[in-house]
């Protein structure tokens, strides 16, 4: 196996103000598939091409935002090793082991709070429920997509953009301890030496997580889901308009990562994105640098300017 260590963001737990409107949004508008509910009243969903039991968990709470982001690692041995490495790095706080089964169909998880205030987890095991494409048994002679998809129907939960203050500490953790690479960075200041944004990859994706330096702790800017084409991004815009979903911006293109995108809000104000495109990232690919003065086209390549709400609105 060439792709080792941390594989991908495997689950995000999103806090919602009212559970059922949120379920309707994530299941019928975004088009995830509901896979379970637990005795804590949490709702579990997955995108159609994900094989693991869930990638999104909704929890009703008084405050919108993200509870935590869970990263799937390649093996139980890696889980133990990275837990030790994180502890020894001294970069994280509130380290704990969450027993298997606390989330449905999920093995034990190692939980920690990173310098930007976000709660993260590592885990190695989650039950496989499959993508329902096989015609002669699971994963045998599969069709390209399953029947019965609803709404926008992205293929997978892809990445998050997070806001926090200690970008340097979080970057050190992700690069030196967890093995991520910087695909793209946004630099500010007279000599462009002050990093204000970092787009990090642990895989072949242009980003698996991104952080923007802001004087807050543990905030969610958006959770993003992958679509196969630009036309599907336009279709997403149609779905969002016909369901009167609160649209933020798009469809448009990002300069950063080159993705084609549309942003919108769930019924509790958490920002979602669906996107397509980008490029294949390899760890030897040179880091792309954007200057703060070019942040307009870096974020919205066609308009070439930011709107205030895009950066100021988060949960």
Partner 1 sequence: MRHLVTIENTGETYYCLEGENVLQGMEQLQRKGIPVGCRNGGCGVCKVQVTEGLYTKRKMSRGVVGADEEASGCVLACRIYPQSDLSVEVVGKMARAIIAKKSASFDFGFATMTKINQPDEEI
214 binds partner 1 (CB under 8 A): yes
Q: Give all strands (DSSP E) within the chain, no chain letters.
A: 6-16, 33-37, 43-46, 56-60, 65-73, 93-98, 109-113, 119-123, 156-164, 181-188, 194-201, 209-213, 219-226, 247-253, 259-265, 271-277, 288-291
If binding is defined by CB under 8 A, does position 170 make contact with partner 1? no
Using CB under 8 A, pick the residue from 7, 29, 66, 295 that binds partner 1.
295
Among 18, 168, 176, 303, binds partner 1 (CB under 8 A): 18
Half-sphere exposure of 282 (CA within 13 A, CB side): 3
Q: Could you tell me the two tokens for 300?
A: 């919205």
Give burial (CB, 10 Å; 0-12/13-18/19+) of 155: middle
| Interface region with partner 1, contact rule CB under 8 A, candidates 5-13, 95-103, 252-260, 263-271 | 263-271
Of the candidates 45, 260, 29, 262, the residue with the CA atom closest to the CA atom of residue 153: 29
Applying CB under 8 A, which of residues 268, 274, 276, 290 lies at the interface with partner 1?
Answer: 268
From 141-149, 171-179, 211-219, 281-289, give the range in contact with partner 1 by CB under 8 A.
211-219
Task: Give min distance, CB of 308 to partner 1, in A.
Answer: 5
In the region spanning residues 60 to 89, those forming contacts with partner 1, defined by CB under 8 A, are: 62-65
Shortest CB 168 distance to partner 1, Å: 13
Q: Which among 36-44, 90-98, 122-130, 261-269 is the span making contact with partner 1, rule CB under 8 A? A: 261-269
How far does Cα 181 stand from its chain's mean position?
A: 16
- By CB under 8 A, residue 191 contacts partner 1: no
Apex 214 CA angle, 210 and 219, nearest 5: 65
Note if 51 is an active site residue.
no
Token pair, residue 83, equals 């837990």
Contact 258, 278 (CB under 8 A): yes
- Annotated catalytic sites, by residue? 159, 207, 222, 254, 263, 273
Q: Rule CB under 8 A: which residues touch partner 1?
A: 17-18, 62-65, 163, 188-189, 194, 196, 213-216, 246, 248, 265-271, 292, 295, 306, 308-309, 311-315
């Amino acid at each position: 196996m060439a792709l080792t260590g941390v594989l991908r963001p495997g689950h995000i737990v999103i806090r919602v103000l009212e559970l059922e409107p949120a379920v309707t949004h994530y299941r019928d508008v975004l088009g995830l598939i509901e896979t379970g509910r637990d005795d804590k009243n949490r709702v579990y969903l997955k995108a159609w091409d994900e094989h693991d039991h869930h990638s999104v968990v909704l929890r009703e709470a008084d405050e919108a935002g993200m509870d935590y982001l869970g990263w799937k690692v390649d093996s139980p041995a890696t889980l133990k090793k990275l837990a030790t490495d994180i502890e020894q790095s001294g970069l994280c706080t509130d380290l704990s082991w969450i027993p298997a089964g606390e989330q449905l169909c999920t093995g034990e998880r190692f939980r920690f709070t990173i310098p930007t205030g976000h709660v993260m987890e590592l885990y190695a095991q989650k039950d496989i429920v499959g993508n329902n494409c096989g015609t002669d048994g699971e994963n045998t002679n599969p069709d390209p997509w399953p029947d019965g998809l609803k709404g926008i129907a992205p293929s997978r939960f892809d990445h998050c953009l997070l806001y926090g203050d200690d970008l340097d500490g979080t970057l050190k953790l992700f690069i030196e301890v967890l093995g991520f690479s910087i695909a793209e960075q946004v630099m500010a200041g007279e000599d462009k030496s002050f990093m204000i944004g970092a787009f990090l990859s642990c895989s072949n994706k242009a980003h698996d997580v991104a952080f923007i330096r802001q004087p807050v702790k543990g905030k969610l800017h958006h959770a993003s889901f992958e679509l196969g084409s630009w036309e599907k991004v336009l279709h997403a815009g149609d779905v969002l308009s016909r369901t009167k979903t609160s649209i933020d911006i798009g469809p448009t293109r990002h300069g950063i990562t080159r993705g084609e995108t549309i942003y919108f809000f769930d019924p509790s104000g958490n920002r979602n994105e669906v996107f397509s495109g980008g490029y294949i990232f390899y760890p030897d690919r040179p880091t792309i640098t954007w200057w703060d003065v070019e942040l307009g086209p870096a974020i919205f390549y066609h308009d070439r300017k930011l709107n205030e709400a895009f950066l100021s609105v988060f949960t």
